């Protein structure tokens, strides 16, 4: 029982990783805020600001099938590492 309690206490500190692959066509951004902004731009049909974020390299359209490591997540998206960069992507952007 004590081992279980210690394990439960250490898991949030140690963290978790999970392999996945990308799906093409969805933005991956360098911050969760920028990913939220891209979602708002898409919902509003704001192509101009969408293009600005892509041109400033705040966000990228990744091709499908790239191997990534999920390092965190929430209700709407995942935090992951690809090629040494930490990015955020909508939850439908990764295949686990």
Max CA pair span of the chain: 57
User: Does 10 reside within a domain?
Assistant: no
User: Does 27 reside within a domain?
Assistant: yes
Identify the pLDDT of residue 12.
44
User: Does 53 reside within a domain?
Assistant: yes
User: Does 2 reside within a domain?
Assistant: no
Q: Give the whole-angstrom CA distance, residue 57 versus residue 34.
A: 11
Share of the chain above pLDDT 90, in %: 76
In this prediction the pTM is 0.79
User: Does 58 reside within a domain?
Assistant: yes
Q: How many domains does the chain have?
A: 1
User: Does 82 reside within a domain?
Assistant: yes
* Domain with 75 in it: 15-95
pLDDT digits (tens, 9 = 90+) for 11-50: 444 456 789 999 999 999 999 999 999 999 999 999 999 9
Output the DSSP codes for 45-74. Answer: T-HHHHHHHHHTTSEEEPPTT-EEEEEEE-
Q: Give the whole-angstrom CA distance, residue 54 versus residue 57.
A: 5
Share of the chain above pLDDT 70, in %: 83
């Amino acid at each position: 029982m004590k081992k279980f309690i210690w394990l439960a206490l250490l898991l949030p500190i140690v963290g978790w990783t999970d392999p996945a692959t990308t799906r093409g066509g969805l933005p991956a951004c360098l911050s969760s805020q920028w990913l939220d902004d891209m979602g708002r731009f898409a919902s509003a049909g704001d192509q101009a600001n969408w293009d600005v974020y892509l041109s400033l390299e705040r966000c990228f359209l990744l091709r499908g099938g790239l191997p990534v490591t999920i390092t965190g997540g929430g209700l709407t998206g995942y935090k992951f590492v690809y090629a040494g960069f930490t990015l955020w992507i909508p939850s439908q952007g990764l295949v686990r």
